[in-house]
Structure 1
Amino acid sequence: MTDFPPDSEIDDLAEAVRQGRPMRVGAPFRVMVADTSLEFEQKLLRDPKPNGRQFVELVDGHPVDQFIVIAILPNGDFEDIRLDEPYDLRGQGAERVLVVRSDRTYRFKIDDRDLEWPQPCISGFVLKKIAGLAPNYNLWLDVPGGHDRKIADSDIINLDEPGIERFISLIDQTTEGLEALPSADRMFLEEHGFSYELVSDKHQDAIILRDFALPDGKFDHTHTDLLILLPSGYPDCPPDMFYVFPHLALKPNGYAPKATQVRFSFAGRSWQRWSRHNESWRSGIDGLRTMLARVQTALAEARP
């Protein structure tokens, strides 16, 4: 496509979507196209409603019927672009398109987004790139009936494997220094087999998770009771620090973890306070799942 006019006469799909305006009639326009590397490149189209075949030809893909074309919508969802059916890029707000040689897609979820990938295996790095995570968030594999698994950049996930169906984005950054739980929290705790009780002391609501498993070989105990104070307005307002009983010391020397020297009296027990502060929270999304991911990270990274 070497006969396109100068840049001043080329429209920009992403700009039109952001500005809420229609595409300029008859003008070629830019669209971002990538393969599974997610390294997007600008391509030029004239047809405002191209079909999948046009995208495959745009990247010189042959034979065309061995390729899959996927539009990435503004909310992060993926949508198939069929080879021989027109697709309204502007109407859908789709600024980016994947074009990949494959004969099928593998479906999964990140949070509540329905996504698909044209290959059975995907790296943790690419998965996070698809999710568009903020720097202080990480992805975890949702494991019903077990402990969620944190996804590292170097992990290779087989999307065709049973149980690899849903990933969740959770706050993963900590800094040192109710009459009823929301239904999402209750479902999470029950699905993962946590034993817990809701308690209140001096007008402060809290949840205690009994026999919470600790990282193998790190502390002088294998399990602890975990106390999380629930602030007024939870879950719109975030919990902050967490507390454990019995108090924990690091192996092999018995040193107390950093920023755990303060004792906190609650519900008839003296708890060890872990001063780890929550600096970001997504109202309507984050809850106990998020808080427990932060707890697990703090315990795993504890040092004298």
Structure 2
Amino acid sequence: MTTNNVQISIEVAGADLVFQPVSLSDTTPTGAQIAAAAGFNPGQQASVLLLLPNGELEDVRPSEVVDLSQKTGRFIVIESDRSYRLTIDGKRIDWPCRVISGDVIRQLGQVHGDKAIYFDRHDQADKLIEDREIIDLDSSGVEAFYSRAATWVLNVQGVRLEVATPTIVVSDAMIRAGFDVNQGWHIFLKVTGHPKQIIELTTVVDLRTPGIEKIRLTPKDVSNGETAQAVRRDFALLDVDENFLDERFAHWETMIENQRRWLLVYGYPVPQGYNTRRVTLALDVPPSYPGAQIDMFYVSPHLSLSDGQALACTEAQEAINGVPYQRWSRHRATASEWRPDTDNVITHLALVESALAKEVQQ
């Protein structure tokens, strides 16, 4: 087009959407003139896209005239011979590059920072897209992205929390996970690649920190209603057992009574369908474990079914530390005999879980 002797300034960006001012002396330039002003020559096959106020992109052909009478405009100019179609919250975008970043998707879709962006996948779970992540658009079909309120995940002693804010006070997290903050706790924060950190009830945890795994709780002492008692560790288990118990349960002990070795797991969860949802679980651990197998399991208080049906092979009782426990006579079948090299407390707890679920058909 012919010049109107008016100097105007537009903004031009590449695939990174970093806009820079570019001068034009024409309020009605063609797409080719805009590409030239951005530093591209005709042989580079530059794609010129007008960024509309609502975030949509409008393709500007080389000979097409753009009205810049408002003396402003934002353009994306990229060397490309084709475009890739995607949608962001249903808004169609024709993008001139094979790859696109999460940050560019956020900008094009005008997605606020308090929302997360997901890649809609039909054959597997939808994928959370981080701002710095690069997505390859060279596949069949239209790539669809959508936004929703962001959530952050935190594991508190085996309880998975989804948090709507990027920070949370430790005491709030514990209350949400069902733990009594008035009980004495040693509290640790585990972050991948770092030693565990001692934290307090008032500590604010930033869930955006890379590698955050969990908050781990260990009781400082156990109250029997009269006096405080130290957590008992009368004998050691396998390292893999102790690590598993530490991660999954807030309180467990090992005790020796009348030459029998007991593992006690407090607050063990019970499936719906029983008279209670948590019990103290006891396992009789032989002195030669894991060479000798763990057999059966014991619970207190006694379990019964909510529908009144009888529980087979649970009539016997065992007193442990003066407390009556209900014995569940559940044994391994021939096909799943105890193997000292692979079986342990963890695999026996899987048997316990299965036995409890079977009675309520879960």
TM-score normalized by the length of structure 2:
0.41
Query: Which entry has the higher C-alpha Rg, 1 or 2?
Result: 2
Higher relative contact order (CA 8 A, sep 6+): 1
Bigger share in strand: 2
